[in-house]
Amino acid sequence: MDRIAPPDKVELEFLVQANTQLLAWYATEQRDLPWRTTSDPYAILVSEIMLQQTQVDRVLPKYQQFLATFPTLADLAAASTADVISAWVPLGYNMRAVRLQSLARQVIE
């Protein structure tokens, strides 16, 4: 098995500098997004699924609406699939909603 050589001093300095600059940029440029301020695993899961192949600006209004309609994993699991798709529709790729509901149902079972 090939071993990966550890970074040399120049590479390590570059990585540290790049990391520092990236964190500094993020500290000043980060967007205030609701899924960054919650520790609710369900809300984070919903955001992760919604953000697949969909721009943040399109997700933001639907994220809040979806969580208001289905505030818990149990609520999502108990809903009709038609209602879940209806709440999801403007985001496209509706199978994401169906799979999210399927996941919710498996967890609840």
Tell me the one-letter amino acid at 46: V
**Among all residues, which ones are annotated catalytic?**
48
Distance between CA atoms of 26 and 35, rounded to whole angstroms? Answer: 16
Distance between CA atoms of 52 and 45, rounded to whole angstroms? Answer: 11
Residue-wise DSSP of 50-62: HTTTS-HHHHHHH
Give residues with Cβ within 8 angstroms of 65, minimum separation 6.
87
